[in-house]
């Protein structure tokens, strides 16, 4: 494409349309979309984190159905750590959210699995705290989590 109809500005940058997507090309020439520019979390130490990478390691856990990773508390230069919003996999756990005893078991299992997932991540990508959500995350019509609803919502988080 050369641009938008009736638009004078050139929509292309160096021959590419800037979508905001991030990706990589493997040795065989296949393109993989790995995230979005707007989702990158820059920690106060300058490290860039793609939250989707951390989220994939969390949803690989048996007890976690959904995970969204956001920036933790701001210190002026950026966030110091990552916070994971997680929805338990009630079906796999065979537990329900309406029983306080079940919730305690779920909380313990999720905390343990986040600690295990952290061991497999480089230090700056580790989750420092999490928030348990008992309902699936709100999604767009294309089934993507509305991440913006979770950013800044850190009330009630539990440190790992």
- pLDDT top residue among 36 and 122: 122
H/E element, 69: strand 64-71
φ/ψ of 57, rounded to 5, equals: -70, -30
Position 38 scores a pLDDT of 81
Please state the domain extents for the chain. Answer: 38-159
Q: What is the mean pLDDT of residues 97-125?
A: 93
CB contact at 8 A, 131 and 83: yes
pLDDT tens-digit readout, 45-80: 888 899 999 999 999 999 999 999 998 877 666 668
In CATH, the number for domain 38-159 is: 3.30.300.30
φ/ψ of 52, rounded to 5, equals: -60, -35
Position 9 scores a pLDDT of 66
Position 12 scores a pLDDT of 75
Average pLDDT, the chain: 87
**Alpha carbon distance 62, 74 (integer Å):** 31
CB contact at 8 A, 62 and 92: yes
């Amino acid at each position: 494409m050369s641009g938008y109809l009736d638009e004078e500005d050139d929509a292309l940058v160096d021959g590419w349309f800037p979508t905001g997507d991030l990706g990589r090309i493997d040795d065989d020439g296949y393109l993989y979309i790995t995230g979005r520019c707007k989702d990158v979390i820059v920690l106060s130490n300058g490290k860039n984190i793609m939250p989707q990478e951390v989220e994939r390691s969390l949803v690989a856990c048996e007890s976690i159905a959904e995970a969204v990773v956001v920036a933790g508390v701001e210190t002026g230069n950026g966030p110091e750590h990552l916070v994971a919003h997680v929805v338990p996999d009630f079906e796999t756990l065979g537990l329900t959210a309406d029983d306080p005893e079940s919730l305690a078991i779920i909380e313990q299992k999720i905390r343990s699995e986040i600690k295990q997932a952290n061991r497999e991540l480089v230090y700056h990508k580790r989750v420092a705290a999490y928030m348990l959500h008992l309902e699936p995350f709100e999604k767009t019509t294309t089934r993507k989590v509305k991440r913006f609803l979770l950013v800044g919502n850190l009330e009630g988080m539990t440190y790992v």
